[in-house]
Structure 1
Amino acid sequence: MTAAERATRTREADALCARAFDDAGCPDSGVALVAVGGYGRQELSPYSDLDVVLVLDDGVEPGAWAAGLWYPLWDSGVEIDHAVRTLAEVLERSGADLRVALGMLDARHLAGDPNLTLRLRTAVLAAWRRDARLRLPELRRLGEARAGRLGELADAAVPDLKESVGGLRDGTVLKALVASWLVDVPHADLERCRQGLLDVRDVVHSVAGRSTDRVTPEYWPEVADLLGLADATAAQRHTRALARRLTHISRLTWRRTDAVLRRPRTSGARRPQLQPVAPGVAVAHEEVVLDRGTAPSSDPLLLLRAAAEAAERDLVLAPATAARLARETPPLPDPWPAGAREIFVRLLASGPGLLPVWETLEETGAVDAVLPEWSRVRLLPHASVVHRFTVDRHLVETCIEAAALIRRVARPDVLVVAALLHDIGKGGRTEHSAAGEPIARLVARRIGFDDREVDLVAGLVRRHLLLPEVATTRDPDDPATLALVTTQVRDREELDLLAALTEADARATSEKAWSPWRAELVTGLVRRCGAALQELPPPDPAPASVVVPDTVRSGAEHLVVEVEPRPAGSLVRVFGRDRVGLLADAAATLALQRVSVRAARAWTQEVGGRDVGVSEWTVEDADLDAAVLRQRLEAIAAGRVDPADRLRRPGPTRLEPIVVVRPEASARATVLEVRAADRPGLIHTVCRALAGLGISVRSAHVSTLGPQAVDVFYVQEHAAGALTDRRAAAAAHAVRGALAESVAPR
């Protein structure tokens, strides 16, 4: 089935309509027969209806010929959807009913007065363009309603080629958006997808022997044969690829339409205003693009950075930018540097903003540059009907679900990478968990995880079905049930990761896969296994020691900053007379300089009978001036600069911060564990809140894992020991409140 055959069907239908018009004795002036909808677009499938309207000029009364026109069409056996309207009635109905307006945008002359058809088309298009800003929001709502009913063609088990998201209806809507003159689309891609889906629909009509847009599973083998494809899976992948591309074009066009509708009307073209948001990356008209003067060939992290910024900000990653970066960005080394892995984790943990960005990476070929293993599962249908998405889409959805659970785990970076890879073994003959483990191990090692982290990722992929299988098929009170889990899961950290992955996987599968009953069974099993895996508290960290500068030893200088170059960044050391608030000031200094902190630790060191506060900061910035940092630190310490307002970030975070007291973690200090969205000034906010209570930070262990900071603070009463339970609770409350306040809207 080809466009040529559709053209032949259209010519035959046109001839039939013109002959009926002439035989009925319709007037040649003031009356026109027009095709609308799919017939107007010349897209007739074997069993399509003919949508036609007999249009009368204002003042023309219909005679017997208006009724006689339809009899020969009915007698021919063709299904017709017909109406008789005056020109004024057509325009009125188009203005009142959006569906009628869409059909009339494709009006095509069949017989009668061509001037009347021309006036009709001109008036319909003029009204559409005039009222577009008012009508497009309604058109958007209609599309969202269709999506809620039918889902996405690329992922549905029984797709609707016309009404599903990414189907032929969306192709028609895109043409209407272009007709509004507000936005444009990539026409070649749009037409390729539309014509491809029309070919599939023609074949489905032939297989079914009737008019239908739904492709049931038993149709796929014959569809494949008629399309000249290898098998049913190839036919599904072909169809779903067309739909996914059309879905991407549609989402991108609607995002751009929404941006246009939000902007005030202007006369003339507006030059995009670039707002730099990261090295080499800027935002223009709500899309992430390259900043001026950026050379992709000089920065191997640029593709990942642009994608992460777009996903975290829930903005469009401009397809032209993604395609250029995929072509020109140098390949990442094997293994990746730590900075690349951190950006990749930020992308995966960005939440709902991940999906449109990942689609752009897919459609521009950029995913293959980052994760070549993705081709194994691209557009792969799930064997189980319980899944609502194809395998690749399910993996992305699992990442989105996992992003909401990262506060529960100590290693969110491991969680989201395992979420992306947990079904990567599907599509072969080997059980997919077993097949996926070596692939996950290879990917985890390449992106820069160490041996233990590689084992964690691979183990999660291998055992991602363990908890639901055991919870739903074994007696929870039988000791052997716990043994099934605890003999395979090494420690509580891995159990927590497996529990979060299980929930994310189930939620991404379908609502039924994470029912309250199933959730309760899994949660109960995890609770019992956690008690069995309870470990002894870790020992207090060994005290650190470095050479303190002579000027600090002698008391000649109160504050000293040293910068030591390191691969892919620097190590910053801050020395000063030990006091409550010193660490907060050091953290503020780096935050105000927009220095990106990857890790930090702090301690008190006795030198010559006096206590010296020391902190070390591993940062991404390679070009730092110690003198500038010291000058800023002294201004903050002296109270000349208050960093609080400058570090306030507008808008709430997606996940609330978690602050927990760990009484079992140390015998000499009170341990506060803080998990919060990584951002400038986070460490300063925590330390300042503690200093406000007169609590001293004796040791700090800070790490950034993708989008989440996991910071552990060993705190004491100044010149004393661990906090009382009451003081510990007050400290946790103060830190939690400070973090919440620091991200509240102004």
Structure 2
Amino acid sequence: MSPTPSSVALPPLPRLPVAVPRSGVSAEARRALRQLLGDVDRALATAFRDGADASALARRRGESVERVVAHVWLACLGEVGETTLFAVGGFGRGLLFPYSDVDLLALVKSPEPARLRALEQFFATLWDIGLKVGHAVRDPAQCRALAAQDASVFTSLLDARRLAGDPAFDASLRAIVDDPVLWPPHEYLAARLAERDARHARYDDTAYNLEPNLKDGPGGLRTLDSLRWMGRRLAHADGLGGMVAEGLLDPAELATLEQSEATLRRYRYALHLEAGRPEERLLFDYQRALATRLGFEDEHEKNLGVEQFMQGYYRAASQVERLGVQVAERFVEMLEPPGEAQPVGAEFLRYGSRLAARDPQLFMQRPAALVEIFITRLDQPGLVGFSADTMRRIHQATAVHGDTLADDDDVLAAFLRLLRRGAPAVEALWRMNRHGLLAAILPAFGKVFGRMQYDLFHVYTVDEHTLRVLRNMARFADPAAHREFPLGCEIWVSLPKPEVLLLAALFHDIAKGRGGDHSVLGEQDARAFCSRLGLSPSDIERVAWLVRWHLLMSTTAQRQDITDPDVVHRFAELVGERERLGQLYLLTIADIIGTSPRLWNGWKDRLLSDLCVATRYALRSDVELPRDIGVRVHECSEYALALLMNEGYAEADVVRIWADFPQLSFLRHRPEQIAWQTGAILLAKGALPLVAVHPLSVRGSTELFVYTPDRDGLFATVTAVLDRLRFSVMESRILSSPTGMALDTFLLLDADSQQPVSTARAEELQQRLQRALTQSAGVQPSKRGMSRHQKHFQMTPKISFHAAGDRTQLALVGTDRPGLLAAVAQIMLHAEVRVHDARIATFGERVEDFFQLTDRHNAPLDAGMQERLLQALMERIGPAQE
């Protein structure tokens, strides 16, 4: 765990010369001031490393810089009247982080040339001694006009603090910020909320980004600044403490905000030092180093120090974001008092569009009402939320009751009633989480609050991911989603107990970070909670099974050949029944989309739906799998022949072509694919090599078919061309005919859009590959460097060999990178290894590829050849290689 800041003595304030020259700052004096500021910064960095409080250090740097600025002011302008220097921004609040800008405002009565020259000399001197200055020079009238036009300018004046010059301008500045005509409360609140929404939109409207912005992101330090600004302008409150006196915060909320702010400031201070510049984003480039700098250590491989470090940020930011929203609501109510109360049942009241508790002590006296108010809200159309006082009382009661809510029978009964609402319950669960209520009812959920996983596959923290999974499930209940998820919507409406699926979603990742298999640990948690919830034994078993096997469908579809009835049969035996199959299908889709929107595409949609439909068929009582191979080949060929004859092809011509098709073609391809490939061969009339591209083929993919005399290096050439043209290979089938012809099939997506390609792109691929296959020299993959993100998540590839009949299977698990498949194909070519089949799967930055291999004599790879291939792969695609 991270150490807490200790009471380290702060460096002393710099001592400046008593006598101040009136003719500017000499070159020697500038060097001395630059040295002095450097000494201060080095001393502050040392104090931070020793555990000093970041806020105190930022204030000490602000004080030190203030002394230097005032000294230079006197040297350049002396005691001249009608000119005043103010600190604004963070400097105005007395805080300067290691590389923060020094924001200054000079107010002048009139822009006389001599005064302007002196100001130019002043600002130039500050830059020359190493201060990054942001400055403005205005007269009071200009300042007022700009403040009237722009709320951000007006806001900057709220923090203005005089550093030097004529005190008379204090009144001028006060007159601007205290003028009730400039930005009256309603307008100022609207402007601040609009600024907040626009700022959050730039950061995906969530505090859970993988590389969050400490300052401007949701829940960042700017949110706390905004609360202070609104408190001052709308309630004349002096800081967060003053907002307690005005009833806008309670002492517990103040303590939460102060603790969160201390964490954010500490992280920001460390980030500036680590980056050596005014960096505000917690980039991957810095996260591991910052975790080490702040004392976080790896607990085990599933609870890394960097993950603990980021969890500290996410928890602080989410607390700030939650309270920021609630306090903003209180400002709205303060300016727009609620109307007449309308009773809602015996315990709640409705004030316009807000719901409130009739009795202020309701949640303390009867904890189940904490859940019931969320249920009631579902039944009241037109509500936008709870009253500000009710939100506060929900939060207070949740904190007081704590984990006792998890064992309160009435609370659990209410929670089960909520879950039985199905899709509408999801929004209530999301709001309960905002109040900390969900974590109180499910203590294990509180443990994954803010828990990130240090990879590019999981782009959200575990709690945020879980809530997104739930929201994805709710989409299946929306008729508007039927076009996007026809099978999912069909399954959802048939679910007899939606609460089973919602509970499985809540628990599927709840054991992340503990060590061990999170699916197994989560199953145990799910069983215990569902028992307390009072579910029937059969429903408990369903929830537990879904949690335990929530990855089964995804891994089966993406890592195995679902056109193989044996694979489907084994999967069907594990699933056992149609209802559970439907639940698993919905959970799988919601989980993939909730992990990262970039992971979902038409290919995976069709892949999962094909597996679901095939398994439904396998689960019918009158069908037994696996069926005889001969029967499957006959069924496929009969259907394909019918399709071809409908297109006008002669049966004799088709049979002649098929005489050279390996039996595996009819086992591994759909009849539609067989018919399309056969038609392409017939249309070519013997011209070779044949390259055919179907822009939209099976499972929403682009299909590439290569028919040519087989030769070593064919797979390497094809993958090199695909890499150069930026195609992602989703699946490939490398087959050889009895007469030595290659029948190679690749299912592709555009690498950038992860969608099937246009007709133009398909034609380009056909032409480029056709030319490449007619050349004697092989095509080399393009050389593209890894992205900044990929460089931070390189893992040592795990490569293993397994016997697979008369072939050797190579399993490659590692980090994705540009041109990986093409590079692997080149290595296999040089190692004199033949590729007979390839199964490609990508999970974020992680790839899991499987190849069926032989040597040049079509024999399995012996131990020596396996070792040579292993060494060649490790040298070429290891984490240190580019």
Instruction: Give the shorter-chain TM-score range.
Output: 0.5 to 0.7
Listed as ranges, the matches of 1:404-419 within 5 Å are 404-406=475-477, 407-408=492-493, 409-419=495-505
Listed as ranges, the matches of 1:724-743 within 5 Å are none
Listed as ranges, the matches of 1:467-616 within 5 Å are 467-534=553-620
Q: 2:273 aligns with which of 201, 206, 209?
A: 206
Q: 1:173 aligns with which of 226, 229, 242?
A: 226
Shift of the alpha carbon at 1:335? 9.8
CA contact (8 A) 2:91 2:103 kept: yes
Shift of the alpha carbon at 1:99? 2.9
- Give secondary structure in 2 for the equivalent of 1:200: helix
Q: Which has the higher contact order (CA 8 A, sep 6+)?
A: 1
CA contact (8 A) 2:200 2:206 kept: no
Q: 1:327 aligns with which of 383, 400, 403?
A: 400
Shift of the alpha carbon at 1:226? 4.2
2:452 corresponds to 1:381: yes
Shift of the alpha carbon at 1:457? 0.6
Deviation string 1:270-301 (CA, Å, 9 cap, x unpaired) is 57754443453334575544322765466452
What does residue 93 of structure 2 align with?
Answer: 41
Distance across 2 between alignment mates of 1:140 and 1:109 = 29
What does residue 313 of structure 2 align with?
Answer: 239
What does residue 143 of structure 2 align with?
Answer: 90
Structure 1 pair 66–274 and aligned structure 2 pair: CA distance change class (3 A): same
What does residue 342 of structure 1 align with?
Answer: 417
CA contact (8 A) 1:58 1:87 kept: no
Distance across 1 between alignment mates of 2:348 and 2:162 = 50
Distance across 2 between alignment mates of 1:431 and 1:199 = 34
Structure 1 pair 285–511 and aligned structure 2 pair: CA distance change class (3 A): same
- Give secondary structure in 1 for the equivalent of 2:162: strand
What does residue 507 of structure 2 align with?
Answer: 421
Deviation string 1:152-176 (CA, Å, 9 cap, x unpaired) is 6742211111121111122222222
Structure 1 pair 153–160 and aligned structure 2 pair: CA distance change class (3 A): farther
Q: 1:395 aligns with which of 462, 466, 473?
A: 466
Distance across 1 between alignment mates of 2:410 and 2:548 = 22
State the one-letter code of the partner of 1:233.
E
Structure 1 pair 300–99 and aligned structure 2 pair: CA distance change class (3 A): closer
- Give secondary structure in 2 for the equivalent of 1:139: helix
Question: How many positions carry a matched residue from both structures?
Answer: 525
Q: 1:8 aligns with which of 29, 35, 60?
A: 60
Shift of the alpha carbon at 1:244? 1.0
Deviation string 1:91-118 (CA, Å, 9 cap, x unpaired) is 2222223332332221111111223134
Q: 2:184 aligns with which of 113, 122, 131?
A: 131
Distance across 1 between alignment mates of 2:257 and 2:536 = 44
> Which deviates the most, 467-476 or 167-176?
467-476
State the one-letter code of the partner of 2:456.
V
State the one-letter code of the partner of 2:318.
R
Deviation string 1:193-227 (CA, Å, 9 cap, x unpaired) is 33331221111111222221112235334434544
- Give secondary structure in 2 for the equivalent of 1:34: strand
Structure 1 pair 199–117 and aligned structure 2 pair: CA distance change class (3 A): farther
Q: 2:82 aligns with which of 5, 24, 30?
A: 30
Structure 1 pair 415–156 and aligned structure 2 pair: CA distance change class (3 A): same
Q: 1:157 aligns with which of 195, 199, 210?
A: 210
Q: 2:432 aligns with which of 340, 344, 357?
A: 357
Shift of the alpha carbon at 1:149? 2.4
State the one-letter code of the partner of 1:9.
R
Distance across 2 between alignment mates of 1:136 and 1:484 = 61
**Structure 1 unaligned residues grouped into runs of 5+:** 264-269, 537-746
Q: 2:160 aligns with which of 107, 112, 116?
A: 107
- Give secondary structure in 2 for the equivalent of 1:111: strand
Shift of the alpha carbon at 1:323? 1.9
Structure 1 pair 321–116 and aligned structure 2 pair: CA distance change class (3 A): same
Structure 1 pair 129–283 and aligned structure 2 pair: CA distance change class (3 A): farther
What does residue 12 of structure 2 align with?
Answer: none
State the one-letter code of the partner of 1:509.
T
Structure 1 pair 257–499 and aligned structure 2 pair: CA distance change class (3 A): farther
Structure 1 pair 228–27 and aligned structure 2 pair: CA distance change class (3 A): same
What does residue 877 of structure 2 align with?
Answer: none
Structure 1 pair 483–535 and aligned structure 2 pair: CA distance change class (3 A): closer
2:377 corresponds to 1:307: no
State the one-letter code of the partner of 2:476.
L
Distance across 2 between alignment mates of 1:121 and 1:347 = 56
CA contact (8 A) 1:193 1:246 kept: yes
State the one-letter code of the partner of 1:206.
L
Distance across 2 between alignment mates of 1:259 and 1:386 = 42
Distance across 2 between alignment mates of 1:404 and 1:437 = 25
Distance across 1 between alignment mates of 2:95 and 2:523 = 47
Structure 1 pair 256–528 and aligned structure 2 pair: CA distance change class (3 A): farther
Deviation string 1:242-287 (CA, Å, 9 cap, x unpaired) is 11111111222333445566x4xxxxxx577544434533345755
What does residue 445 of structure 1 align with?
Answer: 531
Deviation string 1:675-711 (CA, Å, 9 cap, x unpaired) is xxxxxxxxxxxxxxxxxxxxxxxxxxxxxxxxxxxxx
Deviation string 1:107-141 (CA, Å, 9 cap, x unpaired) is 11111122313421341343586434234434333
- Give secondary structure in 2 for the equivalent of 1:318: helix
Distance across 2 between alignment mates of 1:87 and 1:534 = 83
> Which deviates the most, 91-100 or 129-138?
129-138
CA contact (8 A) 1:288 1:318 kept: no
Structure 1 pair 222–473 and aligned structure 2 pair: CA distance change class (3 A): closer
Q: 1:458 aligns with which of 541, 544, 552?
A: 544
CA contact (8 A) 2:419 2:498 kept: no
2:522 corresponds to 1:436: yes
CA contact (8 A) 2:362 2:369 kept: no
**Structure 2 unaligned residues grouped into runs of 5+:** 1-47, 236-242, 298-304, 478-491, 623-882
Given the two structures, how large is their TM-score scaled by the length of structure 1?
A: 0.65
CA contact (8 A) 1:153 1:243 kept: no
Distance across 2 between alignment mates of 1:70 and 1:300 = 61
Shift of the alpha carbon at 1:305? 1.0
RMSD: 3.0
- Give secondary structure in 1 for the equivalent of 2:104: strand
Distance across 2 between alignment mates of 1:75 and 1:523 = 66
Deviation string 1:520-576 (CA, Å, 9 cap, x unpaired) is 22122222222333469xxxxxxxxxxxxxxxxxxxxxxxxxxxxxxxxxxxxxxxx
CA contact (8 A) 1:401 1:508 kept: yes
- Give secondary structure in 1 for the equivalent of 2:138: strand
Distance across 1 between alignment mates of 2:147 and 2:291 = 40
What does residue 264 of structure 2 align with?
Answer: 197
Structure 1 pair 516–151 and aligned structure 2 pair: CA distance change class (3 A): same
Shift of the alpha carbon at 1:404? 2.6
Structure 1 pair 233–382 and aligned structure 2 pair: CA distance change class (3 A): closer
State the one-letter code of the partner of 2:157.
M
Distance across 2 between alignment mates of 1:293 and 1:205 = 46
Distance across 2 between alignment mates of 1:534 and 1:90 = 78
Deviation string 1:480-507 (CA, Å, 9 cap, x unpaired) is 2322431122222111211221222223
